[in-house]
Amino acid sequence: MIENLKVRFFDYPLQFKKYEKKYMEVIKRTFEKGAYILGEDLEVFEKNLAKFVGAKYAIGVGNCTDALLLSLLAAGIGPGDEVISVSHTFIATIEVIKFVGATPVFVDISDDHNMNVDLVEAVITPRTKAVFPVSLNGRICGNIDKLVKIAKRHNLLVIEDAAQSLGAIYKGKGAGTFGLAGCFSFYPAKLLGSFGDAGAVVTDDKKFAEKVRMLRNHGKGEGADIKLWGLNCRMDNVHAAILNFKLKKLPEWIKRRRKIAKIYNDELSDIKELKLPPTSAEHDDHYDVFQNYEIEGERRDELVTYLKSKGIEVSLPWGGKGVHQFNALGLAKVRLSRTEELFKKVMMLPLYPEIKKEHVKYVIDYIHKFYK
C-alpha cells in the first residue's frame, strides 16, 4: 500500500494544467474580439447547451442562484405563494423562494438522498404554486415523472434545481427537462465548471425563455426598450467561451466519473457500516453522472478525522446541516426524520475526472483500515 499521499477533495490546478494551452487560447481569442457581455460566444453556448440537455432554449446567467431566482420571477411566483422543496440542498434553492416573498414548504428525502415524491401530495395547499425538486450528486430526483403528474393534477409548476446533474438521464430524459424549467450551475467544481460563477436556465417554453432573457438584462427587450423590471444576471462571454470548450469534453468526463464511482462501489460494498449511493448500471432507469460520491457512514466524525490525518480531504455537504436546521434563518419548525438522520452520517469522498486510480485506492484502503 502506498503511504503518505495527499488526496485533494477537488484539484483545481490539476484540471487547469491538463488543458492550459487550450484554455489560454480560448481566453485570448475572446479578449481579442472585445465582446465581453451578451455576445456570440454566449449565443453559441446557449444553443449547444440546449442541444446537450434536450431542451429548446437555454439562457446563460451569472450563476445557478440567478437561474433559480429568475425562473421564479418569470413564473410569477411571489408573496402568499408556497413552493415545495427539500432541506437536503444548498441554501440557494430555498433562499430564492424567500426572496420573491413566497414560503418554502419542506418534504423529506428518500434513500437516494433526493426528494421523496410520495410525500408531496400531502403538503399541497390552495397556496401551493410550484415544486422545486433537487437532483443532487448527479442523480435525477427519483420518480420525477410521478412528480410531474402530481403537479399537473394540482395545476402546479415544476422547476428543477439540476445544479449538480448536468448530463444525468432518467427514463431517456435529461436533467432539467421535466418541468417548466431546469436550472444549472457552472461553479468551478461542478460537472461542467467555468473559472468563476456561471449558470443557466433551460426550457421548452418560448415565452418563458424570452421573459428570463429580459429579466437577466435589466428588463430589456429589443434594442434599449425596457419591457419590465429586471436585474443584472448575465453570463460573461469569457465564461461562455470556456464552457463551450469544456462541454465537448463533458461526456468523456462523465464516463470517467462513473468509472471512479464504480471502483468505490465495488471495493467499499463489503463494509456494513457504510451506505453507498446507487450503482446506476447501464440498463437502469437512471444514468447517474456522479457530481459527488456521497455516502453514509457510522461513526462519521471519527472517520472524517481519521481520513484527514492520512492526508485525505473529504467534505460534509453544506457544513453538515440541512437548510431547516440553520436556526438563524427563522424557518418554521419541521421534522424531517430521514434528512436529520442523513446529516449525522453523510460525507463525500474525492471524485473528479483527473483523480488518479492510486489515490482512489488509497482512500478505499484507509476506509477499510478504519472500520477494521
Q: What is the pLDDT of residues 300-339, one digit of tens each?
A: 999 999 999 999 999 999 989 999 999 999 987 899 999 9
Q: Is the dihedral of CA 204, 95, 163, 154 positive or negative?
A: negative
- Antiparallel, parallel or unpaired: β 181-185 and 157-161: parallel
Grid cell 448575465 in the structure block, residue: 234
Proportion of the chain in helix, strand, coil states, percent, rounded to 5: 40, 15, 40
What's the mean pLDDT in 173-179?
A: 97
DSSP codes joined into one string, 76-89: T--TT-EEEEESSS
E strand or H helix at 104: strand 103-107
E strand or H helix at 170: strand 169-170
* pLDDT given for residue 2 in this prediction: 65
- Show contacts of 323-330: CB within 8 Å, 24+ apart: 323/87, 323/89, 323/91, 323/93, 323/94, 323/104, 323/106, 324/87, 324/106, 325/87, 326/91
Whole-number Å distance between alpha carbons of 171 and 177: 12
The model's confidence at residue 174, banded by pLDDT at 50, 70 and 90, is: very high
Residue 197 amino acid letter: D
Whole-number Å distance between alpha carbons of 264 and 279: 10
Grid cell 483500515 in the structure block, residue: 369
Q: 57 forms bridges with which residues in the sheet? A: 203
Contacts of 353 by beta carbon, 8 Å cutoff, 6+ apart: 15, 252, 253, 256, 257
79 sits in the region (left: phi over 0; alpha: psi -120 to 50; else beta) called: beta
The model's confidence at residue 142, banded by pLDDT at 50, 70 and 90, is: confident
Q: What is the pLDDT of residues 1-49, one digit of tens each?
A: 666 789 999 999 998 999 999 999 999 999 999 989 999 999 999 999 9
- Fold assignment, 250-371: Aspartate Aminotransferase, domain 1 (3.90.1150)
The 3-state DSSP class for residue 73 equals helix
Residue percentage of the chain with pLDDT more than 70: 98
Q: Is the pLDDT of residue 123 over 90?
A: yes
* pLDDT given for residue 1 in this prediction: 60
* pLDDT given for residue 213 in this prediction: 97
The answer to whether the beta carbons of residues 97 and 132 sit under 8 Å apart is yes
- Antiparallel, parallel or unpaired: β 293-297 and 346-349: antiparallel
Domain boundaries, the chain: 15-244, 250-371
* pLDDT given for residue 277 in this prediction: 94
Whole-number Å distance between alpha carbons of 265 and 58: 35
* Domains 15-244 and 250-371 are alike in CATH topology: no
Beta strands in 226-285 (DSSP E): 274-275
Q: Is the pLDDT of residue 280 over 80?
A: no
For 15-244, which CATH class? alpha beta
Q: Is the pLDDT of residue 283 over 70?
A: no
DSSP codes joined into one string, 280-340: --TTSSEE---S-EEEEETTHHHHHHHHHHTTB--B-GGGG--GGG-GGG-PPP---HHHH
Q: What is the pLDDT of residues 233-249, one digit of tens each?
A: 999 999 999 999 999 99
Please state the pTM of the whole predicted model: 0.95
The model's confidence at residue 219, banded by pLDDT at 50, 70 and 90, is: very high
**DSSP category for residue 130:** E
* pLDDT given for residue 281 in this prediction: 66
What's the mean pLDDT in 86-93?
A: 97
Length of the chain (residues):
372
Q: What is the mean pLDDT of the chain?
A: 95
End-to-end CA distance of the chain: 16
